[in-house]
Structure 1
Amino acid sequence: MNPALDVPLSTEPDDREQQALDWFTRLRAGDLGTTEQRAFERWRLDPENARTLAEVELLWRQLERPARQVQRSERRSAPRSWTGWAVAAGVLLISGLVMLQLPWLQRLSSDVATGSGERRQIQLADGSKLLLDSASAVDVDLRGAVRKVRLVQGQVFLEVVHDGRPFVVEVGDARVQVLGTRFAVSRGRDQDEVVLLKGRVEVSSDGDKRQLVSGQRLGISDKRLGMVENVDAERLLAWRTGQSPVTDVPRLP
């Protein structure tokens, strides 16, 4: 169950802020069911909850406004001066840097995202399936000759359907070329990671490449690929079924 669906009316400040961020994420996605909508209305009855939610909405509008202003100016027929373009670029750069420091804003601006304590499965237009773990976010682009998924935050498990086009997952500066079907990619503070449950993938970063087969794991740190390890992939990916995440999985011979 999503913890935001059943919350006390009195919460600690940190909990209240996280709940407000989670509700805002779900409201923007527009996927609240009847039961969740009632839970949200109960949660918002607390004045402090309502105030925190309003602050989140205001901050989002303030960060979104510069990008909209630049978009409107680009549609004007008159050419923009060099100074104008520099100012616009500076505004967007500052906004982007702010967002990099706020993980919840990264989730809000992504194509698909989950709140804290929520897992979500979606099926893409090509038939492939994504399962997002708690507090995770991805961008998806299936329009070109190469199908792309970019992991923005958290971790995602993928079941890829072959349709004749390459399927690539981007995580940080690394690219995971899908040669098999079932695997997971995760982003961490110090290291990103690829775990292959079934099939084969090729991971590349900064000119280096590694191939993984079923039951193997690869860490990626500061653009450098680590050593390929044999692991118990089923145990490592226990989060898919709601079990506690397993972080200490020994290397297999």
Structure 2
Amino acid sequence: MSAPRGVSSSVSPAAPLAPEVVERASLWLARLWSEAVTADDISACERWRAAHPDHERAWQRLGVIGQKFETLETLNGRDGLPPRLAFDTLTARPAPRVSAAGRRRVLRVFGGVITLAGAGYALRRSPMWDTVAADYATGVGEVRSLTLADGTRLWLDTASAVDVRFTPGERRITLRRGRICIDTDASQPPRSSRSAPLVVVTRQGEIRDIGTRFTVREDGDRTQVAIFDGIVLVRPTNGARTQRLDAGQAASFSSSAIDPAGPSQAFDENAAAWTRAQLIVERIRLGDLVDTLARYRRGVLRCDAAVADLRVSGVFSLADTDRALASLAIGLPVETVYRTRYWVTVKAR
């Protein structure tokens, strides 16, 4: 399998960023955007960034927030700050001069973020923290492919984040949010590091791999797991029972119980099409299709209730959701109405 928008390379994850480092980077960000910023502030921030590689890494990772300026300001009916200026301001050496009006617009967008910077607990539980602090993360609409140090293939779905830790005794992948696909490719000669078991950890429990290909999705207070090849063992955090799942089975579990995996939960190859930035469906509700496409684009995408129960089959692009939406009108009596690029409705034609 391959992911059109992914990057395939052997990687060794860097150590996770300490919470206090990310919080300090956020505070520096707030200071540089304040009305009272001085040349001494800019110089002090530069010294802090240069003092340790993790300081610079935290600062650079905060740059992803700049990608959200245009979306948030457009949804709020404002002109917005040019994304290039927002990104340059987060990563420049030294920071550029910004007008007072421009700075006030950015502070409106950053208000919640800066508040979180002073409340570490809340920050560490936020999606922004997952994006900044995770070893690997994807943005909305992005699908990424990696080859880990032991040869394991890892795909990250849209808006997903993971940590990877390999030790002599265990290979551990922690799913912070979103969905991943793992292929340990048991047919290949094992590398020395593969003698350690591979474990995927979520908030609800762990999945222990026995040479296989499977997906794991974090879904609120539950974890969903589906097996394409091989075997996995699932154990909830607070449950004494471990359940075996074979190829073609899927299950959902909470921190205390596992839903039975029966024939009705059988999984096929179409369910892995997202790793190729595709969505393959057969006679599903239009409303469900639109909900899935909404996960791969910014802003609001909704389906009018009058057409939500129409049935849809086909292959749709996740890399170009506008094209996917346009194709709906070919076989269905619907149209896609754009109030803005970030507010879209599928409705009866």
Same fold (TM over 0.5): yes
Amino acid paired to 1:11? T
Per the TM alignment, residue 11 of structure 1 is displaced from its structure 2 partner at its CA by 2.3
Per the TM alignment, residue 243 of structure 1 is displaced from its structure 2 partner at its CA by 2.1
Q: Does 1:105 align with 2:129?
A: yes
Q: Does 1:199 align with 2:234?
A: no
Assess, with a 3 A threshold, how the Cα gap between structure 1 residues 240 and 234 changes in structure 2: closer, same or farther.
same
Residues 210-253 of structure 1 show CA distances to partners (whole Å, capped at 9, x for unaligned) of 111111101012431111134133122332222238697xxxxx
Assess, with a 3 A threshold, how the Cα gap between structure 1 residues 8 and 107 changes in structure 2: closer, same or farther.
closer
Assess, with a 3 A threshold, how the Cα gap between structure 1 residues 9 and 177 changes in structure 2: closer, same or farther.
closer
Residue 127 (structure 1) aligns with: 151
Amino acid paired to 1:188? D
Runs (5+) with no aligned partner, structure 2: 6-66, 92-101, 285-349
- Matched ranges for 1:62-211 at <5 A: 62=117, 95-100=120-125, 102-160=126-184, 162=190, 163-205=194-236, 206-211=239-244
Structure 1 CA distance for aligned equivalents of residues 139 and 78 of structure 2? 13
Structure 2 CA distance for aligned equivalents of residues 97 and 210 of structure 1? 34
1:11 corresponds, among 47, 67, 74, to 74
Residues 14-68 of structure 1 show CA distances to partners (whole Å, capped at 9, x for unaligned) of 9999x98xx97xx99xxxxxxxxxxxxxxxxxx58982698389739935xxxxx
Aligned residues: 194
Assess, with a 3 A threshold, how the Cα gap between structure 1 residues 10 and 148 changes in structure 2: closer, same or farther.
closer
Assess, with a 3 A threshold, how the Cα gap between structure 1 residues 171 and 104 changes in structure 2: closer, same or farther.
same
Amino acid paired to 2:222? Q
Amino acid paired to 1:106? D
Structure 1 CA distance for aligned equivalents of residues 152 and 76 of structure 2? 39
User: SS where residue 11 of structure 1 aligns?
Assistant: helix
1:198, 1:215 within 8 Å by CA — same for their partners in 2?
yes
TM-score by length of 1: 0.63
Say which one has the larger Rg: 2
Residue 219 (structure 1) aligns with: 252
Structure 2 CA distance for aligned equivalents of residues 9 and 173 of structure 1? 32
Q: How big is the alpha-carbon RMSD for the aligned residues of Structure 1 and Structure 2?
A: 4.1
Residue 43 (structure 1) aligns with: none
1:55 corresponds, among 75, 87, 110, to 110
Per the TM alignment, residue 175 of structure 1 is displaced from its structure 2 partner at its CA by 1.0
Residue 74 (structure 1) aligns with: none
**Identity within the alignment, %:** 26
Amino acid paired to 1:227? P
Residue 236 (structure 1) aligns with: 271
TM-score by length of 2: 0.47
Amino acid paired to 2:230? G
Amino acid paired to 2:200? V
